[in-house]
Structure 1
Amino acid sequence: MAEYTPMMMQYLQVKEKLQDAIVFYRLGDFYEMFFEDAKVASKELDLVLTGRNAGQEEKVPMCGVPFHAANTYLQRLVSKGYKVAIVEQLEEAGSSKGIVKRDVIKIVTPGTMLPDEQNEKDVVTLASIYDYGYGYYLCIVDLSTGETIGCDVSYNSLDVKAIAYKNNIKEFICQSDFNQEMIDMFKEMNIIVSFFEDTMLENRYLKHLSSMDDVKVIHSYGLLINYLELTQKRVIDHLQTLKYEDVNEKLKMDYNTILNLELVRSLKNDSKSETLWSFMDHTSSSMGSRLLRKLIEHPLVNQNEIEKRLDQVTTIKNDLLCMNQLKKSLENIYDLQRLIAKIALGSSNPIDLVRLLKTLEEVPNIKLLLKKYEVFHELLDFEEFEALKDRLENALVEQVPVSIKDGGVFKEGYDVELDRLNALSNGGKDWILELEQREKEKTGIKNLKIGYNRVFGYYIEISKGQLNQVKDEFGYIRKQTLTNQERFITQELKEKEDEILKAQENALKKEYLLYEELLAYIKDFLNKLQHLAMRLAYIDCLLSLAILANQPGYQRPTFHEYRLDIKQGRHPILNKLMKHGKFVANDCFMEHDDVLMITGPNMGGKSTYMRQLALLVIMGQIGSYLPCVSATLPIFDQIFTRIGASDDILSGQSTFMVEMNEANYALKHASKNSLILFDEIGRGTSTYDGMSLAQAMIEYIASHIKAKTLFSTHYHELTSLENQFDNIKNYHVLVHEKDHHVTFMYKVVKGKADKSYGINVARLASLPSKVIARASALLNELEGQRKVVMQSFDLFQEESVPFEYEEVIDTLKSVDVNRLTPMDALLLINKLKKDIQDE
């Protein structure tokens, strides 16, 4: 059997070490993929699968992408969970005998992929997770900014899930013996898992750790760093000091709470639109927007810190001139965090350096605007980088090229040797123009011209019709024959060409050296530039909160040890989306350990009211003004929700099982300082099972946890608990009923609801009148039967009470009228009638 060609043997040697990655193999102007990689890539990227002769009888499967457009294809593969290894040519073709040297320059993975300019507000992180025997230690890095955080987390999967979601972790690194159930959970979340064993940490990275005593931190950080060096093929210069993030120092929200409240991602389309983040985001920079997202996902629990942030927001809000000028300055800055990362990772271009300069030019203006206010003094502890700014200003032309390979980056006067080489090159070009004029005069050929291409260099071009005027004494040497022209060279032209091209080549080499020197100079400022970037991002967030605070109807919240008192509160997102004046404002008052039992029909606004309270609490603890007439809030340590918008179908769990798991997590972890929001607990099982569980949970919260709670329910029987517990209070959503037609008022008031209005909702859905009439008759009959039974019904009595129509009632209660077609309704009525007749 014939051997593979030398090029294919080289490829196979590289691929042998990269079994878990698709290899982009540079051949000229293309990245090629071979064998199984080609089959996968052609399918995922819609590429034509071809074949290549590789020394065997059969062609090797192959597909490719142009190198100049490779990043687009690479991002598509990585977004689907693939790793991509970039194999580059390390020398020019023909510079040495034999095959061109190639090697891996980078392995791009879901956790190390830098977001493109269209997605600058995206946060993508990579995390190591280390099992130390009592829990997990995570080290999380955003490679695009260098920010690195560490945190302890329990073995509870929901705790790990929340951290993964909040930090948008795209890839976990763990050792091969890591917990399989946790690995399966990561895969369900579309998080890639990479196995890596080396936890040894080299000395040069120890400076990033505040303590050398904690073994779990060193092992977890070692996993992270060694994996980064493996994939990036370089020392990672721009990593910031590992910051320990104590989850107890921020408002804790589990995965389901963050998801259900749509803080940063919409449940409808998994995007930022119609989320709290999009609504609050008035930032001017991408790094400001990313930090705002982090503030939303990590609200404060220290009242002094909240008040301090509110003081800063209020100061900007009250100085409109300062606010407008600050916004103009911040609009002129670029994403400094990612500029720094690109410089550190060797992927920057001259345009990035110009953007760095323009950003630094705005720093003194921002400092000047804020330094007159004492509340900003700590925030303005950054340098103005005069030396770096001067160096960049003296070095760079205004309109730099995209690539250093194109030349023309540096100003005249920046470097004497470069000026000399440019003069030779430019002088040569002037000489060419003079030569063209001389040759026209000498030959009498007016349309003679001197051109240039990469293959032949400089040439004299004469049209076919003028060839008879070319004489031997001109010294023209025929070089190329075209359809309508002939091309010639002369000895003099060839010598000058060598001189010009040599000067151009040397000038480009000199520019590259100067560029590398400039990058090395900038790298000395990386830590201080990162500090500046964090400060600018935070100032941008404060400005965003101040712009929000300036909107009509926004008030600064006050804080109280235990009282919650919101007057005319509005849902921050719906209030903006609905036409002016359409959204109905609501009060909310709770003291100590109040549990508000909320009854009323579907579509009445119960879930909206609950979400509204949670969002206002989160905004308050971020340090934001609130949409209300007034607001007094306690400081909550945790928020738990069970609102039912994110039932976990993919994991194979029923709605009821998901509901019980989420309720269990809340009941086990909530404290008296927590906020609990339970919407329709018990709906996924039979009437008495659901009612029993709901009552038991309410009683447990009211008597044991004593956390402030909103508990909506369809079980009107539970409203009697108000008479048994001092801290349980009945509320309901107002409904106006006239002639069997209802109008939802969306107003939450004291007292219990009289009935569920399910048939009225069905009428609003325009079900056939015969169906509505029959359902009304059935309901009256069933309610009559129910009253007889309920006279002796005790929720927790030892012996069960016979109830012949329980299944009928369960069926009616479980009906989702919003999804009921007329045919479904008729079939349902027929079934109910048959069931009753059979009794």
Structure 2
Amino acid sequence: MAENYTPMMQQYLAVKKEYEDAILFYRIGDFYEMFFDDAKIASKELDLVLTGKNAGVEERVPMCGIPHHAAAAYIPRLVSRGFKVAICEQTQDPKEAVGLVTRDVIRVITPGTVMQEISDEKASVYLAAITDYGYGYSLAIVEMSTGENYVQNIEHKDVLLMQTLLRSNVREVVVSSDFKEKTLKSFRELQIVISYCDETRIKEEYLPLTEGILKDYDMQAYGRMLNYLENTQKHMLGHLQVTRIECEDEVLYMDFATRQNLELVQSLHENGKAITLWSFLDTCKSAMGSRQLRKWIEKPLVSREKIEARFNKTEWFIQNFMQRQQLRDSFSNIYDLQRLIARCAMNTANAVDCQRLTKTLAEVPAIMHALDETVFDEKRKVDPLQELYQKLKDAFVDNPPVQISDGGMFRDGYNAELDEARKIQHSGRTFIAELEAKERERTGIKTLKIGYNKVFGYYIEISKAAAQAVQDDWGYIRRQTLTNNERFISPELKEKEDAILHAEENAIRIEKQLFQMILDEIRAYLPRLQKLSQFLAEVDAQVAMAEVSAKYGYVRPQFDEDRLFIENGKHPILDDMMKNPKYVANSTDMHKDQDILLITGPNMGGKSTYMRQTALIVIMAQMGCFVPAKSCMMPIFDKIFTRIGASDDILSGQSTFMVEMSEANLALQEATSSSLILFDEIGRGTSTYDGMALAQAMIEYIATCIHAKTMFSTHYHELTVISDNLPNVKNMHVVVKENNDEVTFLYKMAEGPAGHSYGINVARLAGLPDAVLNRAKDLQKELESTKRVVQQNYQLVEMYKEDPRTEALMEKLKQVDPDNLSPREAWVMLSDLCEEVKK
């Protein structure tokens, strides 16, 4: 069948066979065209017209296409939906081709390897290459648009693997072809794109990047990553930074659910208006500063020394308003240096990118001058690269063209050969202008003009009415008839055309060579550029934290190994949003002898907000930001676990209760005495007694086995008696003002248990009919009069009253001596006990 296709279609099929998992953008002239199933998918996803193309067989081949200059708008739409796009370009000048133009794929863009295709400049997209070494997973994770990469090891548990991928915003994984199907299924459920690469050998030129890697399986993961990237990018990966080993115990651990529940960087709401901690703190002036701030939010520190160093910088910026404003002004003028240098390294930069690099480097001296060396000692290790700045400034015009082929990107006087070519080019253009004036004078046609296009070259254009006067002795040769005009050529015009076009082509050729030389020179500065870009990103993020801290009067936290004391703390986002009524501040106090707060009170009273507030203050503190409180004293936490909210995990088919128990289990299994646990209304997804039993058992386990600082809100008011036998449990409640059947929520926390739940009062606020509310009150009184009371025991906290028969059976069993029972006597006793239990 394939031999019946036209030569061009056979060429297409040969290329497509190598990239079956990608949509092939096949360059034909000024268009990218897609065929067969690719065309059907692209037409649907991109709203393109699906048509057909004659390809040498009876049926027309499905086809759609886009202009090549519009590809940058279409490719991100496909990639964001999980597709890969292979770009197949014409690699030969059509003028030089004998028969079919040669074509080849120059790059494969995948969900994990996007660079300039990222639509959100503040977003970071990661790819992870994974090696399964039997008792653990090694992950090599890379962010292609900046070259950031690191290696991480985790336990051989799929749940931990998925948590890591979700936390790191991994869009694509690269695994071996024999990777286990069960885990692949989990990737698909999380909508992570799966790619395969079995080659793990590392080329010699990449070995300097691996100096920190010690384990063979880490080298395999890193090698898999490098080989996949080279296979897709078709280019040396010169922008990759030296890899680092990511250790989870160096940062505050938060699982994916915790990050979601606290809305750190992504809102739980779909309307796009909700504010996250990231969007609230992000007053950064550069995109790379915003991305750095996000990393600090997602990975707060656990080293007191490093946290204090950030506090010192935040404090310095707060105290030095003028320098802070100078820096904000400077950062307003810089571009995304991290991604600019990556494009230069990957040879995808244009002259505009180089001009932006120049403008960014121009601001560096002012930024360095504004920083105090005693606080920012790292600035001594950063090269401001003013030598490179001067080279770029001398080379490029102030407003260069986007397309290199347009020419005119270099300044006059930069290169003698280019100046000479431009001189010839300019004289040719002068000749054209003079010829146009001469021909108007000679012919008497004042509307005559000389134009140019790629098909006909230079031509003389005359209106249809004036064309009637054209005489043979003028030497004009008609070349094209348009609706309103006639186009001609003349021997004199054609004679000069070759010289003019040759000069233009020569000038563009020289500019292309010079531009490539500039990119090569920039690449020589790559390590220093990367170090500078990281420094600038961190300074911008630090200024942003100081700006928010100064604006709202935040305080510097102090550290204490045992006590968490937040005086008049506030939820940072709600405090900013709520103007009338003002947000009510609340204090939190936990220490080693009283490390669990059992919080009761009505729904809508502010329990969940109070818990989130505490977690956000801890996160802000450990990322080096000041916090919304009158004062704050706290230990350094190693992990935060939350179970807040009741959304079903529809994607994996888990119910609310199953999700609740899974998240609670992770906390109970992984928390330490240095962790913070927030459990909100545990057990509401099941029956009352099951929920109450589970909630009580969890409190007891945390209190006696883990000793983590815990905030546990519950609507089971019966649980408040736990504090009688567990002294490290402290009751707290939401204050409510009552007036007959009306309640007013004061959003204030106070010590002691709540009087009752106020559920019916909340229902009244929601507008339920009076008949329903009155009936509910009657039933409430009836149920309260017959409810079972929680029995307390130092060894065992039981949820139901003891059955008298149990005591009788226990007494009988205490009198049994197994060593003196015959088999027959044992059988008879067991039968008797079974009968008694059945009664």
Fold in common (TM above 0.5): yes
Instruction: Please list, as runs of the form range in 1=range in 2, the aligned pairs for 1:296-335 lying within 5 A after superposition.
Output: 296-335=297-336
Shift of 1:273: 4.5
Match status 1:410 vs 2:410: yes
Task: Verify: 1:287 aligned to 2:288, yes or no.
Answer: yes
Structure 2 vs 1, CA of residues 157 and 320 (structure 1 numbering), >3 Å: closer, same or farther?
A: same
Give the 3 Å change call, closer, same or farther, for CA 216–274 of structure 1 in structure 2: same
Q: Which amino acid aligns with 2:454?
A: R
Give the residue type in structure 2 aligned to 1:265.
Q
CA positional deviation for 1:339: 0.3
Bigger mean CA deviation after superposition, 451-460 or 27-36: 451-460
Q: How does 1:206-245 map to 2 (within 5 A)?
A: 206-211=207-212, 213-245=214-246
Contact residue 24 and residue 34 of structure 2 kept, 8 A: yes
Q: For 1:795, which of 777, 783, 798 is the aligned residue?
A: 798
Q: Secondary structure at the match of 1:65?
A: strand
Corresponding residue of 1:588: 588
Moved more, 372-381 or 629-638: 372-381
Q: What secondary structure sits across from 1:555 in the alignment?
A: coil
CA separation of 1:462 and 1:763: change in aligned 2, threshold 3 A: closer
Moved more, 116-125 or 16-25: 116-125
Matched residue, 1:712 = 713
Deviates more, 1:353-362 or 1:209-218: 209-218
Amino acid at match of 1:615: L
Moved more, 159-168 or 744-753: 159-168
SS in 2 for 1:589: strand
Q: State the 1:472 CA deviation.
A: 4.8
Deviation of 1:465 (Å): 5.0
How far did residue 178 of structure 1 move?
A: 2.2
Q: Superposition pairs for residues 194-205 of structure 1, below 5 Å?
A: 194-205=195-206
Pairwise CA distance, 1:93: 2.3
Alpha-carbon distance change, 660 to 229 in structure 1, aligned in 2, over 3 angstroms: same
> Any idea what SS the aligned residue of 1:194 has?
strand
Partner residue, 1:149: 150
Name the CA distance, whole Å, in 2 between partners of 1:331 and 1:305: 28
Instruction: Tell me the equivalent position of 1:348.
Output: 349
**Equivalent position of 1:87 in the other structure:** 88
Amino acid at match of 2:589: F
Distance 1:173 1:631, change over 3 A: same
CA–CA distance in structure 2, aligned partners of residues 733 and 641 of structure 1: 20
Residue 536 of structure 2 aligns to which amino acid in structure 1? Answer: L
8 A contact 1:407–1:511 mirrored in 2: yes
Larger deviation: 251-260 or 677-686? 677-686
Corresponding position of 1:825? none
* SS across alignment from 1:541: helix
Q: What amino acid is aligned across from residue 561 of structure 1 in structure 2? A: E
Distance 2:494 2:116 in 1: 48
Q: Does 1:19 align with 2:10?
A: no
Gaps of 5+ in 1: 803-839
Q: Per-residue displacement from partner, 1:371-415 (whole Å, max 9, x unpaired)?
A: x44011224421121221111111101110011110000000001
1:635-677: CA deviation from partner (whole Å, max 9, x where unpaired): 1011111113443232122222222221111111111111111
Report the secondary structure of 2:195's partner residue.
Answer: strand
Distance change in 2, residues 1:800/1:334 (3 Å): farther
| Structure-2 change in CA distance of 1:229 and 1:648 (3 Å) | same
Secondary structure at 1:88 match in 2? strand
Aligned residue in 1 for 2:695: 694
Q: Deviations over 1:196-234 (max 9, x none)?
A: 211111111111012464101110001100000111111
How far apart are the structure 1 equivalents of 2:650 and 2:488? 75
2:343 alignment partner, SS class:
helix
* SS of 1:375 mapped into structure 2: coil
Contact 2:647 2:656 in 1 (8 A): no
Quote the residue 2:834 is aligned against: none
Separation (CA, whole Å) in 2 of partners of 1:437 and 1:91:
40
Conserved 8 A contact 2:173-2:195: yes
Task: Read off the aligned partner of 1:452 and give its amino acid letter.
Answer: Y
1:455/1:752 Cα in 2 relative to 1: closer, same or farther (>3 Å)?
Answer: same
Determine helix, strand or coil for the equivalent of 1:627. coil
CA-to-aligned-CA distance 1:61-103 (integer Å, 9 cap, x gap):
1111221112222111111111111111112324211111111
Q: Secondary structure at the match of 1:244?
A: strand
Secondary structure of 2:375's counterpart equals helix
Amino acid at match of 1:709: T
Distance (Å, rounded) in 2 between the aligned partners of 1:801 and 1:656: 33
CA distance in 2, matches of 1:129, 1:225: 12
The residue number in structure 1 matching 2:673 is 672
2:460 alignment partner in structure 1 = 460
- SS of match in other structure, 1:296: helix
Question: What secondary structure, in the 3-state scheme, does the structure 2 residue paired with 1:63 have?
Answer: strand
Structure 2 counterpart of 1:175: 176
Give the whole-Å Cα distance in 2 for the aligned partners of 1:399 and 1:440.
35
* Residue equivalent to 2:823: none
Q: Would you say how many aligned residue pairs link Structure 1 and Structure 2? A: 801
Name the CA shift for 1:461/1:666 in 2 (closer, same or farther; >3 Å): closer
Write the mapping of 1:631-642 to structure 2, written as runs, cut at 5 A. Answer: 631-642=632-643
Aligned partner of 2:573 in structure 1 is 573
Q: For residue 266 of structure 2, give the secondary structure of its aligned residue in structure 1.
A: coil
Aligned to 1:399: 399
User: Which residue is 1:434 aligned to?
Assistant: 434
Return the offset for 1:581: 5.2
Cα distance in 2 for residues equivalent to 1:272 and 1:88: 42
SS in 1 for 2:659: helix
For the Cα contact (< 8 Å) 2:451–2:459, is it kept in 1? yes
Query: CA offset at residue 789 of structure 1?
Result: 10
Deviation of the 1:559 alpha carbon: 0.9
Contact 1:553–1:629, Cα closer than 8 Å, also in 2: no
Alignment-mate amino acid for residue 715 of structure 2: H
Per-residue CA distance 1:221-261 (angstroms, 9 max, x = gap): 01100000111111111100111111001101111111111
Q: State whether residues 284 and 330 of structure 1, in contact with CA within 8 Å, keep that contact through their aligned partners in structure 2.
A: yes
Cα distance in 1 between the residues matched to 2:425 and 2:432: 11
TM-score, structure 1 length as denominator?
Answer: 0.92
How far the C-alpha of 1:519 sits from its partner, in A, is 0.7
Structure-to-structure mapping, 1:353-432, within 5 angstroms: 353-370=354-371, 372-432=372-432
User: What residue in structure 2 maps to residue 29 of structure 1?
Assistant: 30
Give a deviation string over 1:706-765, Cα, whole Å, max 9, x none: 111111112222111111012111111111111111111111110001111111111111
Take 1:725 and 1:466, find their aligned partners in 2: how far apart are those partners? Answer: 105
Write the distance in 2 (CA, Å) between the matches of 1:217 and 1:734: 54
Rounded to whole Å, the distance in 1 between the matches of 2:741 and 2:565 is: 35
Cα distance in 1 between the residues matched to 2:484 and 2:670: 86
- Contact 1:421-1:503 within 8 A present in 2 as well: yes
CA contact (8 A) 2:289 2:541 kept: yes
Indicate the SS of the match to 1:795.
Answer: coil
Secondary structure (helix, strand or coil) at the match of 2:89 reads strand
Task: Say whether the 8 Å CA contact 2:212–2:243 is kept in structure 1.
Answer: no
What is the aligned partner in structure 2 of residue 68 from structure 1?
69
AA aligned to 1:55 is G
State the secondary structure of the residue aligned to 1:31. Answer: strand
2:631 counterpart of 1:643:
no
Distance (Å, rounded) in 2 between the aligned partners of 1:787 and 1:215? 61
CA spacing shift, 1:743–1:158, aligned 2, 3 Å: farther
Secondary structure in structure 1 of the residue aligned to 2:4: coil
Unaligned runs of 5+ in 2: 806-839
State whether structure 2 residue 339 is matched by structure 1 residue 338: yes
Mapped partners of 1:145, 1:483: distance in 2: 52
1:407-806 to structure 2, matched below 5 A, reads: 407-463=407-463, 466=466, 470-482=470-482, 485-579=485-579, 582-592=582-592, 594-786=595-787, 795=798
Which one is further off, 169-178 or 471-480?
471-480
Match of 1:832 in 2: none
Q: Which amino acid aligns with 2:721?
A: S
Measure the CA separation in 1 of the matches of 2:625 and 2:586.
19
Checking the alignment, whether the CA contact within 8 Å between 1:597 and 1:711 is kept in structure 2 is yes
Q: What CA distance in whole angstroms lies between the structure 2 residues aligned with 1:19 and 1:215?
A: 32
- SS of match in other structure, 1:550: helix
- Please give the TM-score of this superposition, normalised by the length of structure 2: 0.92
Structure 1 residues 52 and 447: CA distance shift in structure 2, 3 A: closer
> Kindly tell me: are residues 598 and 789 of structure 1, through their superposed partners in 2, closer, same or farther at Cα, counting changes over 3 Å?
closer
Q: Is the 8 A contact 2:300 2:622 kept in 1?
A: yes
Contact 2:448/2:460, CA 8 A, preserved across alignment: yes
**Displacement after TM superposition at 1:35 (Å):** 1.1
